[in-house]
């Protein structure tokens, strides 16, 4: 009888029915408006925001750990980026250990070749280790003419990246780090300081930022790099920057690639974790955002303002790396909500756990 009932219920389901997405489960809209006000009435947040949620049915909590680049990683970047035969990369990277006062050890490799245009194409690799011997941060970078510039964000750049620049960046990223997705794009400018006899000249370009994605869930990019310290002498937990791949394509076809702070996902801590409803997330944000920025009220008189006002124009659900509460040497990849400043697309005004609503400081990584 139970089997007959199950068959009948299956027949009654609409054709093409599928499981609920995360957005449907937590009751999240595509756009939300709201306002959050402090108890004094002088810190005011206006929310007029797009809500960005990955189109997936579940999200998991993952184990993640910092790792080091291998010789094969270096060869991959070299093979993808060099337009001429690239310098040989040794299998034994430890042979390139050099003294470093700030760390137990560091490793550096530099190789360059001149291309048909007479421009040096250069690859650099370094890896730092913590005092206890565990990896801290490392980077593989490649550049050609773009390396003459110190690249910055600023009002000096206008317009959108060209289709050619976009295609170049996407192609490079797919070959270097296929687990990454495009997270952010902006226009940038570089100051040329190689000629000290003349004033710095500027070159414009496009910056593409790629971050790790897992089963359709991205990790959002912000301006916070997990390098904040209360005490620079504190060696209990050395901060490890977030994993990221930068690609700059300048408007003269120069390319700069930097793959930094590699990590690896080592397992699943919680499959299909339960998330707070969107209404609960907004309730928590409504309490925390004004509280976090109430300190700005003491400057109102000097600024000749009656209130401190900010606008949230983007709310995202994505992954970020955090340190385990019980073991600082262990890291987790967890779902979080970020509330972005309308005046700066890289400033997350608040990051909170999508699981329990606790605050995460992206400067400290927990």
Q: Which of 235, 261, 287 is the last residue of a domain?
A: 261
Q: What is the pLDDT along the chain (366 residues), one digit of tens a residue?
A: 434 434 433 444 444 456 899 999 999 999 999 999 999 999 999 999 999 999 999 999 999 998 888 889 999 999 999 988 887 887 877 656 555 554 445 666 777 888 888 888 888 888 877 666 666 778 999 988 655 556 666 554 567 888 999 999 999 999 999 999 999 998 887 766 555 455 555 678 889 999 999 999 999 999 988 866 554 455 445 678 899 999 999 887 789 999 999 999 999 999 999 999 999 999 999 999 999 999 999 999 999 999 999 999 999 999 999 987 777 778 999 999 999 999 999 999 999 999 999 999 998 888
Q: Are residues 158 and 279 in the same domain?
A: no
pLDDT for 215: 95
Same domain membership, residue 89 and residue 164: yes
pLDDT of residue 50: 98
Same domain, 94 and 52: no
86 lies in the same domain as 232: yes
What pLDDT, on the 0 to 100 scale, is given for residue 122? 87
Which residues constitute the domain of residue 198?
68-261
Question: Is position 6 within any domain?
Answer: no
- Do 288 and 256 share a domain, yes or no? no
Q: Is residue 111 part of a domain?
A: yes
The answer to whether position 224 is within a domain reads: yes
Total domain count, the chain: 2
Do 122 and 54 share a structural domain? no
Question: Does residue 362 lie in a domain region?
Answer: no
* 148 and 79 housed in the same domain: yes
pLDDT the model gives residue 130 = 66
Residue 360 lies in a domain: no
> How far is residue 111's CA from residue 120's CA, in Å, rounded to a whole number?
10
Q: Is residue 358 part of a domain?
A: no
> Does a structural domain hold residue 9?
no
Same domain, 153 and 124: yes
Q: Which residues pair with 143 in a beta bridge?
A: 122, 256
Residue pair 308/298 in contact (Cβ under 8 Å)? The answer is no
Picking from 238, 261, 284, the residue at the C-terminal end of a domain is: 261
For 104, residues 6+ apart whose C-beta sits below 8 A from its C-beta are 129, 130, 131, 132, 133
Residues 110 and 192 both lie in one domain: yes
**Domain check: are 50 and 77 in the same one?**
no
- Reported as half-sphere exposure (CB side, CA atoms, 13 A), residue 245 has a value of 24
> Is 252 inside a domain boundary?
yes
Do 158 and 224 fall into the same domain? yes
Answer with the one of 229, 261, 293 that is the final residue of a domain: 261
For residues 251 and 284, membership in a common domain is answered with no
């Amino acid at each position: 009888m139970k089997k007959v009932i199950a068959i009948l219920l299956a027949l009654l389901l609409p054709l093409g029915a599928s499981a609920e997405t995360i957005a449907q489960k937590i009751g999240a809209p595509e756009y939300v408006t709201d306002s959050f006000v402090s108890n004094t009435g002088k810190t005011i947040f206006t929310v007029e925001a797009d809500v960005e949620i990955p189109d997936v049915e579940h999200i998991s909590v993952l184990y993640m750990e910092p790792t080091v680049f291998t010789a094969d990683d270096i060869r991959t970047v070299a093979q993808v980026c060099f337009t001429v035969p690239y310098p040989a990369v040794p299998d034994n990277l430890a042979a390139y250990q050099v003294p470093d006062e700030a760390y137990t050890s560091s490793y550096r490799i530099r190789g360059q070749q001149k291309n048909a245009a007479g421009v040096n194409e250069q690859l650099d690799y370094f890896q730092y280790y913590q005092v206890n011997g565990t990896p801290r941060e490392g980077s593989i970078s490649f550049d050609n003419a773009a390396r003459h510039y110190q690249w910055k964000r600023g009002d000096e750049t206008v317009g959108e990246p060209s289709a050619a620049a976009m295609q170049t960046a996407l192609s490079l990223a797919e070959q270097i780090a296929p687990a990454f997705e495009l997270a952010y794009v902006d226009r940038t400018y570089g100051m040329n300081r190689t000629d000290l006899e003349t004033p710095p000249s500027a070159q414009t370009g496009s910056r593409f930022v790629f971050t790790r994605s897992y089963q359709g869930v991205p990790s959002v990019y912000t301006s916070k790099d997990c390098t904040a310290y209360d005490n620079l002498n504190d060696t209990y937990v050395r901060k490890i920057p977030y994993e990221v791949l930068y690609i700059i394509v300048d408007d003269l076809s120069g390319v700069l690639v930097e793959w930094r702070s590699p990590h690896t996902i080592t397992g699943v801590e919680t499959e299909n974790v339960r998330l707070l409803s969107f209404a609960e997330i907004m309730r928590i944000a409504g309490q925390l955002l004004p509280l976090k920025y109430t300190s700005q009220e003491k400057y109102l008189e000097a600024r000749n303002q009656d209130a401190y006002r900010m606008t949230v124009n983007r709310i995202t659900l994505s992954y970020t790396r955090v340190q385990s509460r019980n073991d600082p040497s262990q890291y987790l990849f967890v779902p979080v909500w970020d509330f972005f400043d309308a005046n700066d697309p890289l400033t997350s005004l608040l990051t909170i756990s999508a699981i329990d609503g606790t605050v995460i400081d992206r400067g400290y990584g927990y």
